[in-house]
Amino acid sequence: MASIEAYLIVLSVGELLPGIYHYSLVSHGLELLDGENPSGWFAEACGDQSWVLGCSAAILLCGVPARLAWKYPMPKAYQAMLMETGHISQTALLCATAEGLECFCTAALREEMFEERIHIQPLDETPLLLIGIGRGRQTYD
Ligand SMILES: Cc1cc2nc3c(=O)[nH]c(=O)nc-3n(C[C@H](O)[C@H](O)[C@H](O)COP(=O)(O)O)c2cc1C
């Protein structure tokens, strides 16, 4: 899945402190990017969908089209990037379900809010899809 970067947005997970983490493809581990609790801005960044605050953590998938553009002429690079996003998302949803966790995905993102917090430039790397996972805490308005 060469074109995708994944970020973990932790709201409430046992031993993992709230914040934003980057999943490193090099170390196969998490790197802390920001230790601030995301619950203050997370729902707004998800298009004011307040129910997203019920998840424990979310995986934000971002695409880097240049990683495919050397191989595929446009627009194939974009097609492949979006297909990779869908495959990763579906796998994450299946894994969450197999673990007995609740999950959703949303594309209703305020991309600029995520770009600012994970320090990416939109022409290089763009937020595409967010997968929320949790135990269904009831925090609806
Ligand atoms: C690509 C994609 C984007 C989605 N975006 C949203 C969204 O922005 N808001 C939403 O309520 N559901 C969205 N959904 C649907 C949710 O993932 C979920 O299926 C829906 O909220 C129904 O949840 P339920 O099946 O647990 O009832 C999206 C689904 C896909 C595949």
**Nearest atom of ligand 1 to the alpha carbon of 47:** 8
Q: Which pLDDT value is given to residue 1?
A: 62
pLDDT 10s digits, 28-75 = 999 999 999 999 999 999 999 999 999 999 999 999 999 999 898 888
Q: Report which protein residue has its CA nearest ligand 1's atom 25.
A: 104
105 lines ligand 1 (CB under 6 A): yes
Q: Which pLDDT value is given to residue 131?
A: 98
Q: Which pLDDT value is given to residue 9?
A: 98
Question: Which pair of structure tokens corresponds to residue 103?
Answer: 């999950």
Confidence of residue 24 (pLDDT cuts 50, 70, 90): very high
Residue 125 DSSP label = -
The yes-or-no verdict on residue 100 having pLDDT over 90 is yes
Return the minimum-mean-pLDDT range out of 68-72, 91-95, 96-100, 126-130.
Answer: 68-72
126 lines ligand 1 (CB under 6 A): no
CA of 3 to the centre of ligand 1 (A): 23
Q: What is the pTM of this model?
A: 0.92
- Determine the Cα angle at 96 with ends 56 and 84, to 5°: 105
104 lines ligand 1 (CB under 6 A): yes
Q: Other C-beta atoms within 10 Å of 116: how many? A: 12
**Nearest atom of ligand 1 to the alpha carbon of 102:** 26
Residue carrying structure tokens 């925090």 = 139
Who contacts 28 (Cβ-Cβ below 8 Å, separation ≥6)? none
The yes-or-no verdict on residue 137 having pLDDT over 90 is no
Task: Judge whether 120 and 109 are in contact, CB under 8 Å.
Answer: no
**pLDDT > 70 fraction of the chain, expressed in percent and rounded:** 95
Which residue segments constitute the domains of the chain, with CATH numbers given? 4-134 (3.40.109.10)
Who contacts 141 (Cβ-Cβ below 8 Å, separation ≥6)? 50
Region 66-87: mean pLDDT is 92
Q: Which pLDDT value is given to residue 135?
A: 84
